[in-house]
Amino acid sequence: MRIDAEVVQSHNDKTLPDHRESFGHLSRVLEKKRLEPTHLIQKIQDFQIAIPSWALGTGGTRFGRFPGGGEPRSLEEKMDDVGLLHALNKASGAISLHIPWDIPSDVEAIKAHAASHGLLFDAVNSNTFQDQPDQLHSYKFGSLCHTSAAVRKQAIDHNLEVVRYGEALGSKSLTVWLADGSSFPGQMNFRKALQRTLDSLRAIYAGMPEDWKLFVEYKPYEPYFYSTVIQDWGTSHLLASQLGERAFTLVDLGHHLPNTNIEQIVATLMMQSKLGGFHFNDSKFGDDDLTVGAMKPYQLFLIFNELVAGMEDPESTNPSPAWMIDASHNLKDPLEDLLQSVEAIQLAYAQALLIDRVALEEARERNDPTMAQEILQEAYRTDVRPLIAEARLQAGGALHPIQVFRTISVRKELIKERGLKSLSTGL
């Protein structure tokens, strides 16, 4: 199923007058603050968020999985789903593949299919946290950190294979998320495991094309419940520093201990020119993988405050980070969930663009926390939804993506096409 541009437009037409009024009011407010709406809209349109191929089916927990219907049955159908999102929000113009779940059999056909939806291929992702049916060695006790050289070699080779698939499709980076860890005190020699992981990553790094980047993700726990080899940004940063200039830390919002100040980590990494990528989601307890912005929208705004500050700093040498959603859709329709996530990201980004940075720095210099808070809240409390809607409208997307999604019964169509019990590959 594809959404016709005219269908989108006809829906837009119905709510256009209300939008015009709201956008007009917001524009006047912004202009009084010497903020140029056109300029902001351009930035918002340029901000594209990759959708991971595994996020298009229903997710589950260890206790069970309650599938919806119409899930994509192939890589092509996954691209179709991202295409549906992008047709509505014009902000999901990239897909992030997960190997071996999404091995492209016919590379050229896949590239053409992607192009037909206007999609690029973002970072590719390896998988050494599960055993595949045909796999020689098990990852039950780790992959790149494993005590056995044979297992490590298998995992390194897998990563290099992922790089080759990505190369063929036009990706420029590899994200390594390593489940490797232990569940019991004593199980693992921490120092040796970290050394082996570094050595394995070095082999992968050496095997990447010269214009590729390596993103090293960190996570404190799960699926192991005592230790993770790359438990925090400090460990990831240590590895990335020792690997080389094209190795970076990747931050996943859900991969932190309770109460972590994530925005400060982001600032520190950008200061060190080591922030490579970002996985968006939201959570209350652990790596809950909920809709972005569903739980802590102000924290998201504070993170974007740092991201924008870093990206707009002329002295910064940090490369433009890769943006991706990494969530699990256990209860909601995955496509609706992703539309909500993208919108939440855009809102936080737009609000961060509104921050009066000159005044903020002045307040900081004179140690005036009251005013610093006022300045942040002034931006955060502004209703920037008309700005996002306008950015979508001008790009040919929908003023109200979820509304259109429901009105034209996308899910019903997908079920008709793919069946009620289709099963997405992967998790």
- Footprint of its own copies on 71-100 (CB under 8 A): none
Q: How far is the CB of 345 from its own copies (least distance, A)?
A: 14
Q: How far is the CB of 256 from its own copies (least distance, A)?
A: 8
Of positions 101, 233, 304, 349, contacts its own copies by CB under 8 A: 233
Q: Which x/- pattern over 119-138 shows residues binding its own copies (rule: CB under 8 A)?
A: ----------xxx------x
Is position 267 an interface residue for its own copies (rule: CB under 8 A)?
A: yes
**Count of CB atoms situated within 10 Å of the CB of 373:** 11
**Which residues fall within 8 angstroms of residue 399, CB to CB, at 6 or more apart?**
11, 12, 15, 16, 19, 389, 392, 393
SS3 182: strand
Are 333 and 62 within 8 A, CB to CB? no
Alpha carbon distance 207, 195 (integer Å): 19
Region of 38-46, 105-113, 118-126, 182-190 interacting with its own copies (CB under 8 A): 182-190
Is position 360 an interface residue for its own copies (rule: CB under 8 A)?
A: yes
Q: How far is the CB of 336 from its own copies (least distance, A)?
A: 5
Q: How far is the CB of 142 from its own copies (least distance, A)?
A: 8
SS3 333: coil
Q: How far is the CB of 279 from its own copies (least distance, A)?
A: 15
Is position 31 an interface residue for its own copies (rule: CB under 8 A)?
A: no
Alpha carbon distance 424, 410 (integer Å): 17
288-307 binders of its own copies (CB under 8 A): 288, 290-291, 293-299, 302, 305-306
Alpha carbon distance 8, 13 (integer Å): 9
Considering CB under 8 A, how many residues would be counted as binding its own copies? 112
CA 22 from chain center: how many Å? 30
Q: How far is the CB of 216 from its own copies (least distance, A)?
A: 13
- Tally the residues of the chain: 427
From the list 336, 369, 416, the residue with the least C-alpha distance to 69 is 416
Is position 409 an interface residue for its own copies (rule: CB under 8 A)?
A: no
Q: How far is the CB of 111 from its own copies (least distance, A)?
A: 30
From the list 344, 357, 371, 380, the residue with the least C-alpha distance to 47 is 344
For its own copies, the closer CB: 173 or 182:
182
Strands 213-217 and 247-252: parallel
SS3 90: coil
CA atoms within 13 A of residue 260's CA, in its CB half-sphere? 22
Long-range contact list for 193-196, CB < 8 A, 24+ apart? Answer: 193/142, 193/145, 193/229, 194/145, 194/229, 194/235, 196/144, 196/145, 196/146, 196/147, 196/152
Phi-psi region of 70 (alpha: psi -120 to 50; beta: other; left: phi over 0): left
Is position 34 an interface residue for its own copies (rule: CB under 8 A)?
A: no
Of positions 85, 95, 176, 270, contacts its own copies by CB under 8 A: 270
324-343 binders of its own copies (CB under 8 A): 328, 330-333, 336-337, 340
Q: How far is the CB of 201 from its own copies (least distance, A)?
A: 15
For its own copies, the closer CB: 128 or 159:
128
Dihedral sign of CA atoms 288, 290, 294, 296 in order? positive
Of positions 69, 118, 207, 223, contacts its own copies by CB under 8 A: 223
For its own copies, the closer CB: 65 or 115:
65
Of positions 18, 31, 36, 108, contacts its own copies by CB under 8 A: 18
Q: How far is the CB of 205 from its own copies (least distance, A)?
A: 20
SS3 181: strand
Of positions 108, 149, 157, 225, contacts its own copies by CB under 8 A: 225
Helices (H) and strands (E) in the chain, counts: 15, 13
Q: How far is the CB of 232 from its own copies (least distance, A)?
A: 6
Is position 147 an interface residue for its own copies (rule: CB under 8 A)?
A: yes
Which residue is it, tokens 């859900």? Answer: 254
Of positions 34, 186, 211, 358, contacts its own copies by CB under 8 A: 186
